[in-house]
A and B are shown apart, each in its own frame.
Chain A
Amino acid sequence: MESVLTPLVSTKEKTSGAKALIKSLIAEKVNIVFGYPGGAIMPVYDALFDFQTEVHHVLTRHEQGAVHAAQGFARATGEVGVVLATSGPGATNLITGIADAMVDSTPLVCITGQVGSQLLGSDAFQETDIISISMPVTKWNFQVTKAEELPEAIAKAFYIAKSGRPGPVLIDITKDAQFQDFEFSYSPCRTIRSYQPIPSLNLNQVKAAADLINLAQKPFVLFGQGVILGNAEQEFKSFIEKTGIPAAWTILGLSALPTEHPLNVGMLGMHGNYGPNKLTNECDVLIAIGMRFDDRVTGNLEKYAKQARIIHLDIDPAEINKNVKVEIPVLGDCKETLSELTKHVLLKSHREWLEKFRVLNAIEAEQVVKDELSPVEGPLKMGEVVDQINQITDGDAVLVTDVGQHQMMACRYTRFNQSKSNITSGGLGTMGFCLPAAIGAKLGAPSREVIAVIGDGGFQMTIQELGTVFQTQAAIKIVILNNNFLGMVRQWQQLFFDKRYSSTELMNPDFIKIGEGYGIKGATVEKREDLSNALKAMFAHEGSYLLEVKVGKEDNVFPMVPSGASVSDIRLA
């Protein structure tokens, strides 16, 4: 290992702050950045011009698109997504994406230009206090006002963004610091005195957890994104296979375990599966792994798993006892804690218990899934579209979704064979996420098929990023599930607001023509008998493609745990 003191990159020549930034990014092995230029970041863009072979810049059409694209890139690759924006409106346009990355633990380094340091605090043109604005939604942020502070700030930014529980970091650089010349040297950050990213493994916690698991009659595992972020898919699989415990995923845990794995019992939460939701209130030991008991997962906390003794594996101590009372916390990186735990648990199978999930899922299949995946009449359904996509891609594609009914349908019915294949906005539920995130995912994983499943509402929230698809030639397959409604809100209006459809019906443009304007081939499909061929044509096409599927206007997503209800009060209709 190279010494912390030996700079990785060092040059006696004077370098400008802007050039130093690019060199620092290169030292961090960044070869793609997403952004949008402007006055206060111009020196950086000027420096980029000299490094076009090393760092590829993707010009999005809005800064929000740039952050979402960087998120898609980070989630598909497991690397840090990098964003550039100018000061003022450029910086504030990043906020939604940064907040989204914060709740979903996505590693990002966002770099914003700032007015000259002599102008700070003077309400100068395009000055906003982005440090204060972004503080509650960043893991860390820092303002650079002198060029020589820059290498250390960038090194810390990357270290903080990707270590421990990952998250977004923002570095704001004044314009004068971008111009200043200094002697540049760069060494990556490996430790910060006040920051302990990974709690040290406590064997007593592991053994106590193992004892409880070994005694359990009806143990149940809930897994979240922590498994993916910890690169612990293999350790996770070994753990559930040895203990024979049924496992259910949160929306961000999806794809950490192959869908077809015999111990995978489905999705938790508001629109999750019948079995896992019901049986949460019957298990005796609940083992939560890298998930944070979001209210969309738990429903009413007063009635959540009260009978169960709870074990919680997490890297973030602040998650323990945050929402549910935990009996045994197991702190640490779950790659390490899971492999240690697996050593101490007994080889078991819980056949009868597992069978209970199967029985409930069979009820769901009969009452909900059958009609959703293979309807024989009426307008096209979202579920059957997702199911047919599955049949073509065979579980190998990266699925990117927006927010709404289509998101729940896509997450419920898509099958996955490999990890890092489901990219969606979970915690913030940001409409407009999908299109730019799909671009980022495709640029990060060019050899994989990337499918963007979007509602007609969410598509129009960042529709301008079709321009980015056009310019980057990112070969994404866009499937708009068009129900002419803000479907998810309409569903709630139907169920809980007496069908008063206040401002949820959309007058939509001709999406295909818009696509054509951007040089993106497309088609519309409305009839069941045309669906399969339309999908095949889309996948056969080499470049990007836009398929609009007209689906039932007033279809609903079921099962559903009404908000405020207990997970065991999940409704099938």
Chain B
Amino acid sequence: MIQSFTISIFSENSIGLLHRITSIFTKRHLSIESLNTSESEQESVFRFTVVVKAEEELVQKIVKQIEKQVEVIQAVYHLDEETVFQEIALYKLSTEKASENNLVERLIRDSHARILSMEPEYMIIEKTGHKEETQELLEFLRPLGLKEFVRSGRVSVIRPKIELQKER
């Protein structure tokens, strides 16, 4: 059964590790839905969050291959239910077009988005949420003079407290 999985990888900060990790997905012909990396709560330990849609067995094998990399401290995978996750999306609209349409303001309010910046020519809206939610707002805004759209990779924390086997 194909499901969505979040893979969390804790690693040293090392040049090229991203390449090593992505080539493991390439080898197995699996496309990455989203990817994010930043420093974790521990100084010098980096955290990658990779989202894939695949059979669990394949994800298991990939995680083992990732864990095998010298600079990887630990890699784990979780189903969406087992994590709390968010993405951030930015929408750039023509101010003129948006103000022609008083729908926009209500839309923003109703969807818990917020206006980041308002300029004479354009305005920028920010929304965080699951992909479906940011996608929904995108569909609404598209006909209303949407000029640019961008969505971040998923950031995710694991619901049950996971004990890292190795000290990190």
Chain A positions near chain B (C-beta within 8 angstroms): 131-132, 135-136, 139-141, 143, 160, 192-196, 316-318, 320-322
B61 interface hit (Cβ, 8 Å):
yes
B65-A194 in contact (CB<8A): no
Residues on B with beta carbons closer than 8 Å to the beta carbon of A143: 15
B64-A318 in contact (CB<8A): yes
B16-A321 in contact (CB<8A): no
One of A141, A193, A317 near B67 (C-beta < 8 A) = A317
Give complex CA distance A132, B17 in Å. 10
Interface size on B, residues (CB 8 A): 21
30 sample A-B contacts, Cβ–Cβ < 8 Å, listed by A number: A132-B16, A132-B19, A135-B19, A135-B20, A135-B23, A136-B23, A136-B27, A139-B70, A140-B70, A140-B71, A141-B16, A143-B15, A192-B70, A193-B73, A193-B168, A194-B11, A194-B71, A194-B72, A194-B166, A194-B168, A195-B70, A316-B68, A317-B67, A317-B68, A318-B64, A318-B68, A320-B64, A321-B60, A322-B61, A322-B64
List residues 144-168 of chain B with CB under 8 A from any CB of chain A: 166-168
What 6 pairs between A and B have smallest CB-CB spacing? A318-B64, A194-B73, A140-B70, A195-B70, A136-B23, A318-B68
Residues on A with beta carbons closer than 8 Å to the beta carbon of B126: none
Give complex CA distance A143, B70 in Å. 15
Closest beta carbon of chain B to A479's beta carbon, Å: 37
Give complex CA distance A196, B27 in Å. 24
Residues on A with beta carbons closer than 8 Å to the beta carbon of B11: 194
B19-A318 in contact (CB<8A): no
B12 interface hit (Cβ, 8 Å):
yes
* Contact string against A for B residues 59-102, beta-carbon threshold 8 Å, 1 for contact and 0 otherwise: 01100110110111100000000000000000000000000000
Closest beta carbon of chain B to A508's beta carbon, Å: 38
By beta carbon, the residue of chain B nearest A192 is: B70
List residues 31-83 of chain B with CB under 8 A from any CB of chain A: 60-61, 64-65, 67-68, 70-73
One of A135, A136, A139, A318 near B61 (C-beta < 8 A) = A318
A135-B16 in contact (CB<8A): yes
One of B12, B15, B61 near A193 (C-beta < 8 A) = B12
A194-B23 in contact (CB<8A): no
Give complex CA distance A196, B70 in Å. 8
By beta carbon, the residue of chain B nearest A139 is: B70
By beta carbon, the residue of chain A nearest B62 is: A318
Give complex CA distance A141, B168 in Å. 22
User: In the complex, which of the residues A131, A139, A316, A318 has the most CB atoms of chain B within 10 Å of its own CB atom?
Assistant: A318
A194-B12 in contact (CB<8A): yes
Closest beta carbon of chain B to A320's beta carbon, Å: 8
Give complex CA distance A317, B61 in Å. 10
Residues on B with beta carbons closer than 8 Å to the beta carbon of A322: 61, 64
A131-B61 in contact (CB<8A): no
Residues on B with beta carbons closer than 8 Å to the beta carbon of A139: 70
A317-B27 in contact (CB<8A): no
* Contact string against A for B residues 111-134, beta-carbon threshold 8 Å, 1 for contact and 0 otherwise: 000000000000000000000000
Residues on A with beta carbons closer than 8 Å to the beta carbon of B15: 143
Residues on B with beta carbons closer than 8 Å to the beta carbon of A316: 68
Residues on B with beta carbons closer than 8 Å to the beta carbon of A136: 20, 23, 27
By beta carbon, the residue of chain A nearest B60 is: A321
By beta carbon, the residue of chain B nearest A137 is: B23
Closest beta carbon of chain B to A425's beta carbon, Å: 20
Give 8 new A-B contacts, CB below 8 A, not counting A139-B70, A193-B12, A318-B67.
A132-B19, A135-B23, A136-B20, A193-B73, A194-B70, A195-B71, A321-B60, A322-B64
Give complex CA distance A131, B19 in Å. 10
Residues on B with beta carbons closer than 8 Å to the beta carbon of A196: 166
B16-A131 in contact (CB<8A): yes
Give complex CA distance A155, B168 in Å. 22
* Contact string against A for B residues 1-26, beta-carbon threshold 8 Å, 1 for contact and 0 otherwise: 00000000001100110011001000
Closest beta carbon of chain A to B67's beta carbon, Å: 7
Residues on B with beta carbons closer than 8 Å to the beta carbon of A140: 70-71
Residues on B with beta carbons closer than 8 Å to the beta carbon of A194: 11-12, 70-73, 166, 168
User: In the complex, which of the residues B16, B61, B65, B70 has the most CB atoms of chain A within 10 Å of its own CB atom?
Assistant: B70
Closest beta carbon of chain B to A473's beta carbon, Å: 39
Q: A318 and B12 in contact (CB under 8 A), knowing A135-B19, A193-B73, A194-B70?
A: no
Residues on A with beta carbons closer than 8 Å to the beta carbon of B72: 194
User: In the complex, which of the residues A136, A140, A194, A320 has the most CB atoms of chain B within 10 Å of its own CB atom?
Assistant: A194
By beta carbon, the residue of chain B nearest A194 is: B73
Give complex CA distance A135, B19 in Å. 8
By beta carbon, the residue of chain B nearest A159 is: B70
Closest beta carbon of chain A to B48's beta carbon, Å: 13
Residues on B with beta carbons closer than 8 Å to the beta carbon of A321: 60-61
Q: A317 and B64 in contact (CB under 8 A), knowing A131-B16, A132-B16, A193-B167?
A: yes
Residues on A with beta carbons closer than 8 Å to the beta carbon of B19: 132, 135
By beta carbon, the residue of chain A nearest B27 is: A136
Closest beta carbon of chain B to A393's beta carbon, Å: 39
By beta carbon, the residue of chain A nearest B65 is: A318
Residues on B with beta carbons closer than 8 Å to the beta carbon of A192: 70
Residues on B with beta carbons closer than 8 Å to the beta carbon of A160: 70
Residues on A with beta carbons closer than 8 Å to the beta carbon of B12: 193-194
By beta carbon, the residue of chain B nearest A143 is: B15
Residues on B with beta carbons closer than 8 Å to the beta carbon of A193: 12, 73, 166-168
Residues on A with beta carbons closer than 8 Å to the beta carbon of B16: 131-132, 135, 141
By beta carbon, the residue of chain B nearest A318 is: B64
Residues on B with beta carbons closer than 8 Å to the beta carbon of A318: 61, 64-65, 67-68
Give complex CA distance A194, B12 in Å. 7
